Amino acid sequence: MLVLLVEDDPILGKSIKNTLELEDFNVLWSQSVEGVKTLVDKNTFDCMLLDIGLPDGNGISLCKKLRAEFSKVPILFLTAQTDEDSLLKAFDAGGNDFLRKPFSQRELLARIKAHTREVTGTKANASYRDLKIDLDSREVFFNGKLIEFNNTEIQILYFLSSNAEKIVTRDRLMEFLGKANEIFDRTIDSHISHIRKQLKSHEVNAVQIKSVYGVGYKLEVQESGEAL
């Protein structure tokens, strides 16, 4: 498995590279945005790790460019930023996940493996009303119109649609995503927030993700039109 690492901190970058190579990953490391172009022109990556703050650019802007060319590759952000606005911008740019610095190498490995694992099982599609999720092609349609989501958000929608009208606990959702042993609650919230934003921008008003306080979420028909 080939991983692109974009990290300007030489100590952290070397540590990440060594950790991944001990797990039999192949890692190509760039310390700048400029160095990425040559790497992506010559290689096909299975996963990308992007620092947000880079000496010659911004990881979020870089993500947008990479996502336009590599629609299916998992992209994970490495960042010291913790505000929700930054997280939403990262997801809007096409990122699948983020790790807050400092993070453990075990957590990094778990996130990478979760996002690059093969989808298994015979049921690869789910639908609810006019919302249809194709897990194999990683596409979401409403009334036949494609709506863009990152891989994690597609999996969340798939699981909620497969359990439509039922309360899905955070634990069940995290277990499905392969993140049951990680501190992931705020990341789930940010993904849900971005999913709602995308649905709203495409005028998907009938199908809503309802928050069940202290428990989890439920996908249901929203009769009143009120925001949930």
What is the set of domains in the chain, with CATH numbers?
2-116 (3.40.50.2300), 125-221 (1.10.10.10)
DSSP label of 61? H
pLDDT at 63: 94
What is residue 29's predicted lDDT score, i.e. its pLDDT? 96
Q: How does residue 184 score in pLDDT terms, banded at 50, 70 and 90?
A: low
CB 51 within 8 A of CB 6: yes
Contacts of 8 (CB under 8 A, 6+ apart): 31, 32, 51, 53, 54, 55
Q: What is the pLDDT of residues 121-132, one digit of tens each?
A: 334 578 888 888
Q: Is the pLDDT of residue 120 over 60?
A: no
What's the confidence (pLDDT) of residue 27? 94
Among 198, 191, 200, smallest CA distance to 211 is for 191
Q: What is the mean pLDDT of residues 60-76?
A: 88
CA–CA distance, 202 with 183 (Å, rounded to integer) = 31
Q: pTM surpassing 0.95?
A: no
| E strand intervals along 16-144 | 26-30, 47-51, 53-54, 57-58, 75-79, 97-100, 125-128, 131-134, 139-142
- Cβ-Cβ contacts under 8 Å for 77 (sequence gap 6 or more): 49, 50, 51, 52, 59, 60, 63, 90, 95, 97, 98, 99
Cβ(161)–Cβ(208) below 8 Å = no
